[in-house]
Structure 1
Amino acid sequence: MNAQTFGPMSGEPVGPAFYLADEEHHADGGGTMLGFWIYLMSDCLIFAVLFAIYGVLGSNYAGGPSPRDLFELPLVAVNTAMLLLSSITCGFAMLAMEEGRVRRTQGWLAATALFGAAFLAIELHEFSTLIAHGATPQRSAFLSSFFTLVGTHGLHVTVGLVWMATLMAQVGRHGLIQANKRRLMCLSMFWHFLDVIWVGVFTFVYLLGMLR
């Protein structure tokens, strides 16, 4: 039987106690944030597997090009700077949100989106250059694991940009209501998570790859 609360005088049931507590919990956004943390942990596992695969296959060139033959570190460094700058502007957007400044929040989100779009454009340029030189995912296990790892991260950035544009429209229409603040916090966590993953990619794939 469901636990119920009763009126102090009539003794009639008011409603299931745990349902009321659950509604209050979700009204405060606790359920949303917990669910999003669980999602981020699952995403961590996905990237951990991709890093492990690259660690095993990253030196199998099959007589093809190696990282030293393919990677352009100055370009990758610029790409990394774009994503790190987007993390800073995302932080400024969250500060503006806490101050209740709608236009400023939207402005910083737009700057974040521009840096994120620049990151994607450079990454797509890198991919197209590699493919033009015959360094396709089918060429070797190294290239297969490289394209899978970096491409998965790029797909996440794309999803983040779509999410960002949607939230900018919602904030413009409804303002900084509690639901939008909660969504923006989730977006911020997601975006900073992608930055951390990219630092790992830059170090493990590009920097260490040039030392092999």
Structure 2
Amino acid sequence: MAVVERELKRVVGRAHQEGPLQEDAGRDPLEYRDPHQAVKIFGFWLFLATDMLLFACLFATYLVLRTHTDGGPTARELFDIPGFMAETFLLLTSSFTGGLATLAMRRDRRNQVLGWLAVTMALGLGFLGLEIKEFAADVAVGATMQRSGFLSAFFTLVGTHGAHVTYGILWMLMVFIQVARRGLTTQTARKVFTVNLYWHFLDVVWVFIFTVVYLFGVVM
């Protein structure tokens, strides 16, 4: 009987230990556990859809005007291959580190979230620095927005993306401060998730800019 009692206690103890783990494994991610936060995430998806329409219009305008150089510099003459390759490397790497921040958030690792957000912001600032340098070099040789339809469309499209990146870095900084002060709650988790979702969206847009604007520009 003593042996049976010990075995029964051992099995019951194991059930108590394993039960919560199995329950947690089946739960929603932290950012979706509060229905109010889940609704806000859905609303953010709708915002991204409208922002996608904005960029679609800018891409369409660029494709129409890309050959309208009016005797000014063409894309092949203007674009610096090492420069836009470096920009692409920095931004795509920042998308990876942003994903790591989301993964750390879902594992409830606050310090890792802060670390990966910091790395993502640093890479984003490096991207912006290279883009500003590119724009300054273009203006220095007379390639301004007023010079041709091609340059107007180029600066508008790439500049709008750059403005989005700037906003994304500022937003990420605010989320960084909130996580540092409040820790990981359903609210701060939702903010970590949405700011990284926004950042991934900007990376997808940049892949199209890299292909349609820069690669086509130096090849065609």
| Partner residue in 2 for 1:88 | 96
Q: Give the Cα separation in 2 of the matches to 1:67 and 1:162.
A: 31
1:194 corresponds to 2:210 = no
- How far apart, in 2, do the equivalents of 1:129 and 1:69 lie? 12
The residue type paired with residue 66 of structure 2 is: G
Deviations 1:163-209 (A, max 9, x none): 01000000010000110001111111100000000000000000001
Structure 1 contact 90–188 (Cα < 8 Å) conserved:
yes
**Aligned match of 1:79:** 87
1:168 equivalenced with 2:173 (yes/no) = no
Higher relative contact order (CA 8 A, sep 6+): 2
SS in 1 for 2:46: helix
Secondary structure at the aligned position of 1:63 is classed as: coil
Q: Tell me which of 189, 202, 211 is aligned to 1:203.
A: 211
Q: What residue number does 2:72 align with?
A: 64
**1:122 paired residue among 106, 109, 130:** 130
Number of the residue aligned with 2:38: 30
Is 2:140 aligned against 1:105? no
Structure 2: distance between partners of 1:80 and 1:27:
37
Normalised to the residue count of structure 1, the TM-score between the two structures is: 0.87
* Aligned equivalents of 1:30, 1:68: Cα separation in 2: 46
Contact 1:61 1:142 in 2 (8 A): yes
Deviations 1:5-60 (A, max 9, x none): xxxxxxxxxxxxxxxxxxxx974422201110110000000000000000000110
Residue 68 of structure 1 deviates from its aligned partner by 1.0
Normalised by the size of structure 2, how large is the TM-score? 0.84
Amino acid paired to 1:163: W
- C-alpha distance in 2, partners of 1:98/1:145? 41
Query: Secondary structure at the residue paired with 2:92?
Result: helix
Aligned residues of 1:26 and 1:32 also touching (Cα < 8 A): no
Equivalent in 44, 47, 53 of residue 61 of structure 2: 53
Counterpart of 2:45, as a letter, is W
Secondary structure in 2 aligned to 1:59?
coil
Q: Measure the CA separation in 2 of the matches of 1:137 and 1:163.
A: 28
Is the CA contact 2:75–2:218 (under 8 Å) kept in the aligned structure 1? yes
Rounded to whole Å, the distance in 1 between the matches of 2:174 and 2:95 is 18
Distance 2:186 2:34 in 1: 12
Name the residue aligned to 2:161.
153
In structure 2, list runs of 5 or more residues that go unmatched.
Answer: 1-32
Supply the AA of the counterpart residue of 1:150.
V
State the AA in 1 paired with 2:129. Answer: A
Aligned length: 188
